Amino acid sequence: MTEKLNIGIVGAGYWGPNLVRNFKSLSHCNVKVVCDLDESNLDRIRGLFPGIGTTTEFGRLEEDKEIQAIAIVSPVHTHFALAKKSLLAGKHTLIEKPMATSSAECLELIDISQRQNLTLMVDHTFIYSSPVRMIKKIVASGEIGELIYISAKRLNMGLFQKDINVAWDLAPHDISIALYIMGTVPSSANCQGRAHITPDIEDVTNMSLNFPNGGFATIHNSWLDPSKVRTMTFVGSKKMILYDDIEPMEKIKIYDKRVEVPPHYDTFADFQYSYHYGDVYSPYLNQIEPLKALCEKFLDCIRCGHQSESSGFEGLKVVQILEAASLSLKSQGCNVGLTWEDNSGEGSAWPLKTACSNCERETELDPEA
């Protein structure tokens, strides 16, 4: 029988109890201690999960030799400091999205994890969901033809964050899904937004990502919409896919619709678009909680030493795109070109340069930045 892995969880607010529940449900894992600065959050944990230790001191998790892994579900501005301490203490580390507040911080965490031979993983939950896995399979099969563009909407009334804007809060979900489906990184990004409630913290943003293969993605995020919306549309040259995460059963619908341009015409009068309308159907999905699948993957990576689909490098990609979007926001929505050097197989070096098309400012995002 495989020995249980002991894990500590930092953060018992909104998302933390979900991680406790899912890790606790796995037979080969034991949630030993939950850490939070707020005693009322710890009271809730003790009520929901009797027998789990609680503490307000992160040092207790660092020093506990029986704890092999730590999951960090704290405010974003604390991610780097806590994850660095966790890794230096020899703990495998899972970090809530976004991974950190800068690519330089991400690179340092990746470097430490590699030197310590530890698993570093980011909570990009949705790429472990059955609908997103199915969409990846459908797109790869060629059923919808060439993937032309992705349109994502993640809207809600709140939850307002104090240390990050709505793009950093919500867009990591959509960016990670887009990168997973596209299988590549964007060549440029632009973003516009406004802060209506808290000064300098945008609560509505629109982001666009341009991919080198001609692909395109738009991401609309808001904390100021009356209804909760979680949709992504994948438009192909042959068919289209609608993914609605709020839909209880038919989360994916495939539309046999497309617009066809005539291959030859002599005059403009001869030119006519042809619209194809076919069936709509929903493929069967094996409904498994994505967070549980992510927790299982984290434990598997610890045991086997493999990299996950949401490794530290994937977390770095998302943060680099968010940094480019932030530069665009500050430059009135200018297009920011992204130049990538993927040296992930060799170590910590993965510099990214962004160049703003309007102000011609260039920024190098690396550990020395």
pLDDT for residue 201 is more than 80: yes
pLDDT confidence band for 37 (50 / 70 / 90): very high
For residue 348, what pLDDT is reported? 34
How confident is the model over 86-102, as pLDDT tens digits? 999 999 999 999 999 99
pLDDT for residue 352 is more than 60: no
Hey, which residues does 240 pair with through a beta bridge?
235, 255
For residue 268, what pLDDT is reported? 56
The class that CATH gives domain 5-126+290-310 is: alpha beta
What average pLDDT does range 251-256 have in this prediction?
A: 95
Which part of the chain has CATH 3.30.360.10?
130-289+311-369
Hey, which residues does 123 pair with through a beta bridge?
96
What average pLDDT does range 159-184 have in this prediction?
A: 95
What average pLDDT does range 34-52 have in this prediction?
A: 96
Ramachandran bin of 216, using left for φ above 0, alpha for ψ from -120 to 50, beta for the remaining angles? beta
Which part of the chain has CATH 3.40.50.720?
5-126+290-310
Ramachandran bin of 244, using left for φ above 0, alpha for ψ from -120 to 50, beta for the remaining angles? beta
How confident is the model over 67-79, as pLDDT tens digits? 999 999 999 999 9
For residue 26, what pLDDT is reported? 95
Diameter of the chain measured on Cα atoms:
78
pLDDT confidence band for 52 (50 / 70 / 90): very high
pTM: 0.89
CA angle 258, 177, 35 (to 5 degrees): 155
3-state helix, strand, coil in the chain (%, to 5): 35, 30, 35
C-alpha to C-alpha distances, 18 to 21, 61, 65, 186, nearest whole angstrom: 5, 19, 25, 32
DSSP state of 326: H
Strands 69-72 and 5-10: parallel
For residue 269, what pLDDT is reported? 55
CA 276 from chain centre, in angstroms, equals 34
The class that CATH gives domain 130-289+311-369 is: alpha beta
How confident is the model over 320-347, as pLDDT tens digits? 999 999 999 999 899 999 988 654 443 3
How confident is the model over 273-319, as pLDDT tens digits? 666 777 899 999 988 899 999 999 999 999 998 889 999 999 999 99
For residue 287, what pLDDT is reported? 85
DSSP state of 3: P
Q: Which sign does the torsion angle of CA 339, 343, 349, 350 carry? A: positive
For residue 357, what pLDDT is reported? 56
